[in-house]
């Protein structure tokens, strides 16, 4: 994977996150990197104070550092900032974070030498993943603690994983045939100042959400067929009159999924029901609005992935080194909150469809709790309760994080974004949603099969068969936890959506 700084897209970023191959900067980036490094070297040799080059950091910025202590200053910065706590980020997330830092440095405005970028490339190629605790960042001045743990491995400190084995940072570099770097002026600051940890967390969640929204279109269509719901609300004229792109796209996807359903054709006439409940009738409006939020977040995170977010910045064109605030992760925090809202609402309406299918007063003659012999068997009664628990948990988690600022660093950093845990909580929400949708798929499959000899559409039948390869029909009560996890796994892997041929993208 060769990255051109400033132009990397979501497809490339997802491939980096899911893959394991080398990642490198396009050679065209080297000239800008060298020019900015030269400016920093000149500043370090001069008499004028330049933040982070020959001064202390944060509240200590007024303390002048002699040139002889430059390397020690940068090393001390890294070691003192390795204050992350909690479980470690998985290697895929760290890999994405490292690639994002490489992209940022590649813009040629951070003042690092090429050797820094080359080491990041070497670590990515060899599969060296620094051990990075998930907690400790408030999202300004960038993700200081997580990125310090990344940088610690680069200087031969801290810890890293290689081949799934954790070892000291220096040992991991040695195993990969790499040498620790001695940080020059500003290089430690350039490496730990930035939003790459928060952005990596948010991007990884977005990649998961993309699969889940596609699966939601499938499970929603299956549920509609299971309760013999109407497809009239999917009429393109209805959605064109409102005009929201996400709504139009979800309605189109559902029409395609339900095309050719004998179940649907069987009740077009002489159906006493006039309108379905909102969880059936308003699916395109709700899931479409969520899709729009995900698309907005995707646009924000694409910009952020290509951004320079350390401080100070080296402006090669004017020969200046300027302090600013690009490290503040407010855009990432807002994007994470948008994703959280979207995920919570996709799950909320899906849970109502599950409740609809297990309720014999609302499911249009499906057996109670979707079991052939209710009473002796409880069927999917408690599976529905589980979806209610997960839906409620996600609604709680969807409360905004970006509004919860607190001052830090002796009030120098007096407004922060909370982007890191705002993005981290998304992964718990994604797992919850995948289970809700998995349970919905199980319920809808039971409902569709209860309509035999009528059949569903070819796309939905293909999805149903993928499900049935792992989850057998529920004839009598059995241990269900494994079935729920298997169905959730099909949602997370994109298998259901791929089998049905869903065309729905961010």
pLDDT tens-digit readout, 76-129: 999 999 999 999 999 999 999 999 999 999 999 999 999 999 999 999 999 999
User: Does the active-site annotation cover 51?
Assistant: yes
Confidence category of residue 175, pLDDT binned at 50, 70, 90: very high
Instruction: List beta partners, residue 162.
Output: 128, 165
The number of angstroms, rounded, from the C-alpha of 118 to the middle of its chain's C-alpha atoms is: 27
Q: Cα separation of 374 and 377, whole Å? A: 5
DSSP letter at 230?
Answer: -
Nearest to 103 by CA among 206, 229, 196, 35: 196
- Helix 458-468 to helix 196-226 angle (10° resolution) is 110
Q: What are the tens digits of pLDDT across the range 212-221?
A: 999 999 999 9
Q: pLDDT at position 212, please?
A: 98
Q: pLDDT at position 402, please?
A: 95
Q: Cα separation of 480 and 333, whole Å? A: 37
Nearest to 149 by CA among 103, 196, 202, 207: 196
Three-state helix/strand/coil letters over 264-308: HHHCCCCCCCCCCCHHHHCHHHHHHHHHHHHHHHHHHHHHHHCCC
Confidence category of residue 65, pLDDT binned at 50, 70, 90: confident
Q: Cα separation of 353 and 283, whole Å? A: 10
Q: pLDDT at position 269, please?
A: 82
> Any idea which residue has 């080296």 for tokens?
314
Q: Cα separation of 229 and 222, whole Å? A: 10
Q: What are the tens digits of pLDDT across the range 135-157?
A: 999 998 899 999 999 999 999 99
Cβ contact 110:312 at 8 Å: no
Residue count of the chain, please give it. Answer: 506
Number of CB atoms found within 10 A of residue 271's CB: 11
Q: pLDDT at position 59, please?
A: 73
**CA–CA distances in Å: residue 405 to residues 59, 135, 304:** 18, 16, 20
Q: What are the tens digits of pLDDT across the range 411-436?
A: 888 899 999 999 999 999 999 999 99
**CA–CA distances in Å: residue 210 to residues 99, 161, 342:** 21, 29, 11
* Coil, strand or helix at 185: coil
**CA–CA distances in Å: residue 60 to residues 52, 207, 261, 318, 451:** 10, 40, 69, 27, 72
Q: pLDDT at position 141, please?
A: 84
Q: Cα separation of 153 and 441, whole Å? A: 44
- Find the mean pLDDT for residues 295-317: 97
Confidence category of residue 169, pLDDT binned at 50, 70, 90: very high
Residue 410, pLDDT above cutoff 90: no
- % of the chain residues with pLDDT over 90: 91
Q: Cα separation of 255 and 474, whole Å? A: 28
Q: Cα separation of 435 and 432, whole Å? A: 5
Q: Cα separation of 57 and 500, whole Å? A: 55
Angle ∠(462,465,469) on CA atoms, nearest 5: 145
Instruction: Write down the catalytic residue from 12, 51, 150, 184.
Output: 51
Q: Cα separation of 368 and 381, whole Å? A: 9
Angle ∠(131,95,189) on CA atoms, nearest 5: 70
Nearest to 150 by CA among 140, 159, 163: 159
Nearest to 126 by CA among 42, 22, 24, 249: 22
Cβ contact 280:227 at 8 Å: yes
- % of the chain residues with pLDDT over 70: 100
Q: What are the tens digits of pLDDT across the range 446-465?
A: 999 999 999 999 999 999 99
Sign of the Cα pseudo-torsion (218, 90, 135, 7, in order)? negative
* 455 Cβ contact list (under 8 Å, min separation 6): 261, 262, 263, 461
* 11 Cβ contact list (under 8 Å, min separation 6): none
């Amino acid at each position: 994977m060769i990255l051109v700084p400033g132009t990397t897209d979501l497809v490339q970023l997802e491939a980096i996150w899911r893959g394991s191959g080398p990642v490198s900067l396009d050679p065209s980036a080297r000239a800008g990197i060298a020019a900015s490094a030269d400016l920093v070297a000149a500043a370090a040799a001069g008499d004028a104070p330049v933040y982070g080059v020959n001064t202390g950091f944060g509240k200590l910025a007024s303390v002048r550092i002699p040139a002889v202590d430059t390397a020690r200053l940068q090393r001390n910065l890294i070691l003192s900032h390795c204050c992350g706590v909690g479980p470690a980020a998985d290697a895929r997330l760290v890999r994405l974070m490292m690639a994002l830092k490489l992209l940022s440095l590649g813009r040629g405005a951070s003042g690092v030498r090429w050797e820094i970028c080359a080491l990041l490339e070497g670590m990515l190629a060899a599969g060296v993943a620094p051990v990075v605790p998930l907690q400790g960042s408030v999202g300004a001045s960038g993700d200081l603690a997580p990125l310090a743990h990344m940088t610690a491995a680069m200087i031969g400190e801290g810890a890293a994983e290689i081949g799934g084995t954790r070892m000291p940072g220096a040992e991991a570099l040695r195993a990969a045939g790499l040498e620790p770097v001695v940080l020059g002026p500003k290089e430690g600051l350039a490496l730990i100042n930035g939003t790459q940890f928060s952005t990596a967390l948010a991007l990884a969640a977005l990649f998961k959400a993309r699969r889940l929204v596609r699966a939601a279109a499938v499970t929603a269509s299956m549920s509609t067929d299971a309760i013999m719901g109407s497809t009239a609300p999917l009429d393109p004229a209805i959605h064109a009159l409102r005009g929201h792109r996400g709504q139009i796209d979800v309605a189109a996807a559902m029409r395609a999924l339900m095309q050719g359903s004998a179940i649907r054709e069987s009740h077009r006439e002489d159906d006493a029901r006039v309108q379905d409940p909102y969880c059936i009738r308003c699916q395109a409006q709700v899931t479409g609005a969520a899709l729009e939020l995900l698309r907005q977040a995707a646009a924000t995170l694409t910009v952020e992935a290509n951004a320079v977010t350390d401080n100070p910045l080296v402006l090669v064109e004017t020969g200046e080194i300027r302090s600013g605030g690009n490290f503040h992760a407010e855009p990432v925090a807002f994007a994470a909150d948008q994703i959280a809202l979207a995920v919570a609402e996709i799950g909320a309406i899906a849970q109502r469809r599950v409740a609809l299918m297990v309720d014999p007063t609302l499911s249009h003659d499906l057996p109670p709790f979707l079991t052939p012999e209710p009473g002796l068997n409880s069927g999917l009664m408690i599976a529905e309760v589980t979806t209610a628990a997960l839906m409620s948990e996600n609604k709680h988690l969807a409360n905004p994080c970006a509004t919860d600022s607190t001052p830090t660093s002796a009030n120098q950093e007096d407004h922060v974004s909370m982007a890191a845990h705002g993005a981290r909580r998304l992964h718990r929400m994604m797992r919850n949603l995948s289970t809700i949708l998995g349970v919905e798929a199980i319920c809808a499959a039971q409902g569709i099969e209860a309509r035999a000899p009528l059949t569903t559409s070819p796309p939905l039948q293909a999805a149903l068969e993928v499900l049935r390869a792992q989850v057998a029909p529920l004839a009598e009560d059995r241990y269900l936890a494994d079935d729920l996890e298997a169905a959730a796994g099909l949602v997370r892997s994109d298998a259901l959506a791929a089998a049905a041929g869903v065309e729905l993208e961010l």
